[in-house]
Amino acid sequence: MAVVNQYKFKGIDNNTSGSALTPLGASIPAVNETIVIKSLLVTSAGTPVVTVINNSITAIKSIALTANQTKELLTQPLIIEGGTSFTVQSSTTDSFDVAISYLNIKKEVTT
């Protein structure tokens, strides 16, 4: 089995719905992947409270952000295991952007 490390950046622009976002994609991480998030930046146009949910557990709940502010939500890396969910959600319909820098560790079967 080979292990492939990929450093990636993902951004989502201008969410105004207040619904849960899946910034890594709906099917990521797959069962054969582990993701290590190094940086999770949120830029707000309004005053949302941002909630980060990892595998149905609230991992981060920010204080109300100030308008036109960028804030780093992580102080330590956040691990997301394969086959689990990862979402970012705003408490209101205020516009906010999410930027994530992460390491995707894929376990690939080679023959």
More confident residue, 99 or 24: 99
pLDDT higher at 12 or 93: 12
User: DSSP secondary structure string, 13-73?
Assistant: EEE-S-SPB-TT-TT-S-TTEEEEEEEEEEEESS-PPEEEEETTEEEEEPPPPPTTEEEE-
Please state whether the predicted TM-score (pTM) of the whole model is above 0.85.
no
3-class SS at 8? strand
pLDDT in tens, 20-78: 788 887 777 888 899 999 999 988 888 888 889 988 889 998 888 888 889 999 999 99
